Amino acid sequence: MRKERVVVIGGVAAGTKAASKAKRENPDLEVIVLARDKDVSYAGCGLPYYIGSIIKDRKELVVREPEEFEREQGILVLTGREVTRIDPTGKTVRFTELNTGACHEVSYDYLILATGASPVLPPVEGITLKNIYSVRTVDDAEAIRQLVDEGAVQKAVVVGAGFIGLEVAENLTLKGITVTVVEMAPTILPGYDEEIARYIQNYLVEKGVAIRTSTRVCGFTGNSEGKVQGVKLSQDVLPAQLVVWAGGVRPNTKIAKEAGIELGPTGCIAVNEYMETNIPGIYAVGDCAENTHLLTQEPVWYPMGSTANKTGRIAGLNVAHKTKADFLPGVLGTSVIKLFELQAARTGLTEAQATQKGYAVETVLVPANDKAHYYPGYRQIITKLIAEKETGKILGAQIVGEGVVDKPIDIIVAMMSCGATVEQLARLDLAYAPPFSMAMSSTILAANVMLNKLQSKFTGMNPKDLVTALEKEEIAVIDVRTEAEFFVKAIPGALNIPFNQLTNRLDEIPRNKKIVLVCKVGKRAYLTLPTLKKLGFADVAILDGGIEAYPYTVE
Amino acid sequence: MAEYLINARGLQCPGPIVQLFNQSKQCAEGDVIKIEVTDPGFKRDVQAWCKKTGNELIDITEKDGVIIATIKKN
């Protein structure tokens, strides 16, 4: 009997995962992987760390070599093969051997598309100059590292302040290179609300990374050897011996589209929860495939390694068993990043996204510690929670700080995946001992602050709203910290009345304006609230997150 | 010239900077204050404080989660 054949197009994370799982679950299948690149099954997310020499050898990045797939799993991996055409009627795939230019055709019973995504390089002046790289393949990373290790780079420009761009900026900085990050959007790190993105930006600037937001690259200048020399912006030129283009990727969908495979509104291949495309027997996984947002049920695109591996596994299972054996109901866009000692993580909707989707939201910004405050080595982390006002349902979270952020974000992810409310989050029985957490963990603390807000125990004001209100002179900012703390760092224009002096200095508080109370993290301001209310001040808010989470100008 | 040692470990709100502020008020010019702190925000605070007051940050180290800052009053 002829063996049924699975052809997988693409051999990085999702493709090799799908192939491995299909073969493992059903050894009777013949599995062939066609990959364009010479490297397969490599850790794309590890490339910035290879540039920084944190990962020493190239081979450490590669999970498996093509020969290993054949020897150990009986999977045929053909590298340097570019698929040019899919014929869904005849169930064949045509491909070119990139080395020789020879064309071949292979038939399939099942086809899994894992064509990935590719960097989008704009057709600007000088884009073809030497030493302008994207960071997508092991070869890219190798070339950048070689240039850096040769000592040929003093100044580098990274275009794009997403994950890869910032991780590369960090790694180049650690190698002693002066780095400027240029970003088109007004803030860095898409997926974070403005005040958190700005907090991270301030941190990076403190670490010596220059950041230019709302800035577009117009072109590049080169020297007589054809090497890049400068990055042209609208106003000036940044000198650079290396440019890393991390300005975003686009899904590789050309062959799918030409074969009549449907694309979704995001421009990626549309799939259902079983990773099936509109054509029976054809699946799509990884970065080329669309995702469904778990909360909004809308099509989204999160090209993440974590999702790629999951979707690959699902398609492999479903092909192997010829049933709907496994499925992925959706994703939350969860991600985490380390930049120097800072960590940042996010999940779900941002405040801006939730508001734009029509949710009535409440948010909190809560600084806390990742360990007990008396246990040396603890670090501060700031938790932003976004919840639906009416129901208390958790819509999203962002956590940032030098402490542990991946644990709290994963707790919130788990709860959100079950459709939980803030109240349910606050009641979790989480692990506690001083070296691991506060007795009331940062997550539970944030949930409790949110509950206080939802129950109208106080009104908050987000840092970004405070800045606008201050400019419009709509508010009076009263800082209730001690004189010493105020002296070190304060919001310009704030009046310092330490909270134990409040009743004696009442006349200094304006009666004709909204009052915003500021302290270090929000607690003393909250404790001051009843006193002020009793004294007849009706319109009083607390600066969310206090001075610790305030990312705008202080003096 | 006197030397003062402050144990401000475990303090976070209002924080060790208040201890330093109060001690410094009682110090004479040339006195040295050594302060032990576990609040990681103190590193930034003490630098800003010295800059604003004109006191000198002679040394700042961190070991096993404890920050030790040595300040000379000017």
Closest chain A residue by Cα to residue B38: A376
Closest-CA distance, B20 to chain A, in angstroms, reads 9
Q: What is the pLDDT of residue B13?
A: 79
| Interval A440-483: pLDDT, tens | 999 999 999 999 999 999 999 999 999 999 999 999 999 999 99
CATH for A5-42+58-117+250-321 is 3.50.50.60
- The structural domains of chain B, with segments of one domain joined by +, span 3-58
**What are the residue ranges in chain A where pLDDT is below 50?**
none
Closest-CA distance, A206 to chain B, in angstroms, reads 11
**Residues of B with Cβ-Cβ distance to A489 under 8 angstroms:** 45, 48
Closest-CA distance, B45 to chain A, in angstroms, reads 6
- The structural domains of chain A, with segments of one domain joined by +, span 5-42+58-117+250-321, 132-247, 335-454, 460-549
CATH topology of domain A132-247: FAD/NAD(P)-binding domain (3.50.50)
| Interval A517-549: pLDDT, tens | 999 999 999 999 999 999 899 999 999 999 999
Please state the rounded mean pLDDT for residues B40-69. 95
B22 touches chain A (CB under 8 A): yes
* In chain B, residues 25-64 whose CB comes closer than 8 Å to chain A: 38-41, 45, 48-49, 52, 64
A484 touches chain B (CB under 8 A): yes
Looking at every residue in chain A, the average pLDDT score rounds to: 96
**Residues of B with Cβ-Cβ distance to A373 under 8 angstroms:** 10, 12, 38-39
Q: Measure the CA–CA gap between A166 and A149, rounded to whole angstroms.
A: 20
Q: In this complex, which of A369, A374, A485 lies closest to B15 when CB atoms are compared?
A: A485
**Is there a catalytic annotation at residue B13?**
yes
Please state the rounded mean pLDDT for residues B35-44. 94
Closest chain B residue by Cα to residue A522: B13
Closest chain A residue by Cα to residue B62: A377
Contact state of A375 with B14 under an 8 Å Cβ cutoff: no
Give the residue carrying structure tokens 């054996």.
A325
Out of 3.40.50.300, 3.50.50.60, 3.40.50.880, 3.30.1330.10, the CATH code matching A335-454 is 3.50.50.60
Q: Verify cis geometry, omega within 30 degrees of 0, for the bond prior to B14.
A: yes
Q: DSSP assignment of A301-356, as one string?
A: ----HHHHHHHHHHHHHHHHHTS-------B---EEEEETTEEEEEEE--HHHHHH
Active-site annotation holder among B13, B14, B28, B61: B13
Q: Residue A7 contacts by C-beta under 8 Å, 6 or more apart in sequence?
A: A32, A33, A34, A93, A106, A108, A110, A111, A112
This model of the complex carries an ipTM of 0.94
Q: In this complex, which of A373, A374, A488 lies closest to B48 when CB atoms are compared?
A: A488
| Homologous superfamily in CATH for domain B3-58 | TusA-like domain (3.30.110.40)
**Residues of A with Cβ-Cβ distance to B22 under 8 angstroms:** 484
Closest-CA distance, B1 to chain A, in angstroms, reads 24
Contact state of A485 with B14 under an 8 Å Cβ cutoff: yes
Q: What is the pLDDT of residue A392?
A: 98
Q: What is the pLDDT of residue A463?
A: 98
Hey, what are A20's tokens?
């491995």
Q: Do residues A217 and A245 lie in contact, with contact meaning Cβ atoms separated by under 8 Å?
A: no
Closest-CA distance, B3 to chain A, in angstroms, reads 21
Q: Measure the CA–CA gap between B57 and A552, rounded to whole angstroms.
A: 26
CATH for A460-549 is 3.40.250.10
Q: What is the pLDDT of residue A279?
A: 98
Q: What is the pLDDT of residue A43?
A: 87
**Residues of B with Cβ-Cβ distance to A374 under 8 angstroms:** 9-10, 38
Could you check whether A5-42+58-117+250-321 and A460-549 share the same CATH topology?
no
